[in-house]
Amino acid sequence: ETGVTQSPTHLIKTRGQQVTLRCSSQSGHNTVSWYQQALGQGPQFIFQYYREEENGRGNFPPRFSGLQFPNYSSELNVNALELDDSALYLCASSLKTGSSYEQYFGPGTRLTVT
């Protein structure tokens, strides 16, 4: 089975621009979560998608948006980039069974906003 993959690995954008990050879930997983990890901090939950619908959101503004596709791959879109958006963005896929399930993380996309 394939693991979670993310693209691109690194990205440099200018303040005010828009960015799209991509994630391919582990085979068979129907849930994807996105996290932001600023330098020196733990990951912060952005949102989660289950069967193509948003299934929970953290304390992030609406300019952070996402999509999940029928094949369970996912995108994270960030509009009007700010310097503080510079971080490692992690996606995690899981198979929702019962009330808890293990999340498998991808290697992340390092976003730098200048």
Partner 1 sequence: AQSVTQLDSQVPVFEEAPVELRCNYSSSVSVYLFWYVQYPNQGLQLLLKYLSGSTLVESINGFEAEFNKSQTSFHLRKPSVHISDTAEYFCAVSDLRGYNKLIFGAGTRLAVHP
Interface residues with partner 1 (CB under 8 A)?
A: 4, 31, 33, 35, 40-45, 48, 50, 55-56, 58, 90, 92, 94, 96, 99-108
Nearer to partner 1, 70 or 102 (CB): 102
Q: What's the CA gap between 26 and 91, in Å, rounded? A: 11
| CB of 3 or CB of 16, closer to partner 1 | 3
- How many Å apart are CA 97 and CA 94, to the nearest integer? 9
Provide, rounded to whole angstroms, the least separation between the CB of residue 101 and partner 1: 6
Q: How far is the CB of 61 from partner 1 (least distance, A)?
A: 18
Task: Report the C-alpha gap between 109 and 14 in whole angstroms.
Answer: 16
Smaller CB distance to partner 1: residue 1 or 14?
1
Q: Are 91 and 76 in contact (CB under 8 A)?
A: yes
Output the smallest distance, CB 67 to partner 1, in A. Answer: 17
Compute the distance between CA of residue 15 and CA of residue 23 in angstroms, rounded to an integer: 23
Closest CB 80 distance from partner 1, rounded Å = 25
Return the number of the residue (77 or 97) whose C-beta is nearest partner 1.
97
**DSSP notation for 10-26:** EEEE-TT--EEEEEEPP
